[in-house]
């Protein structure tokens, strides 16, 4: 697993205005450590993205809905 390989990780805004995240799948490692109030459905994955990626994306994420 290599951070920043092939232009990844990344956060993309979709045409619908929703966002997609490309990161490292850490579902298997993280499931047992999730808080009781958090769930991950069978069609979902827990994805790790570096803090730097999210901080750099912040200016492109709208403050309002």
Encode the chain (65 residues) as per-residue pLDDT tens digits.
445 566 678 998 899 989 999 999 999 999 999 999 999 999 999 999 999 988 998 888 888 87
Instruction: Tell me, yes or no, whether 33 lies in a domain.
Output: yes
Task: Give domain status of residue 60, yes or no.
Answer: no
pTM: 0.73
Domain count, the chain: 1
Q: Rounded to whole angstroms, what are the CA distances from 27 to 17, 23, 40, 60?
A: 25, 11, 8, 27
What radius of gyration, in Å, describes the C-alpha atoms of the chain? 13
Tokens 């990344």: give the residue: 10
pLDDT of amino acid 24: 93
Q: Which two tokens stand for residue 22?
A: 């490309």
Please give the pLDDT value at position 4.
53
* pLDDT tens, residue by residue, 4-18: 566 678 998 899 989
Question: Tokens representing 31?
Answer: 């499931």
* Residue 21 counted as domain residue: yes
| Residue 63 within any structural domain of the chain | no
Backbone angles phi, psi at 31, to 5 degrees: -55, -45
Domain span including residue 46? 5-50
């Amino acid at each position: 697993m290599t951070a920043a390989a092939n232009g990844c990780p990344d956060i993309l805004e979709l045409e619908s205005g929703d966002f997609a995240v490309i990161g490292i799948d850490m579902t298997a490692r993280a499931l047992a450590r999730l808080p009781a109030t958090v769930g991950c459905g069978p069609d979902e994955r827990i994805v790790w993205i570096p803090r730097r990626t999210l901080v750099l994306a912040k200016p492109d994420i709208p403050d309002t809905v």
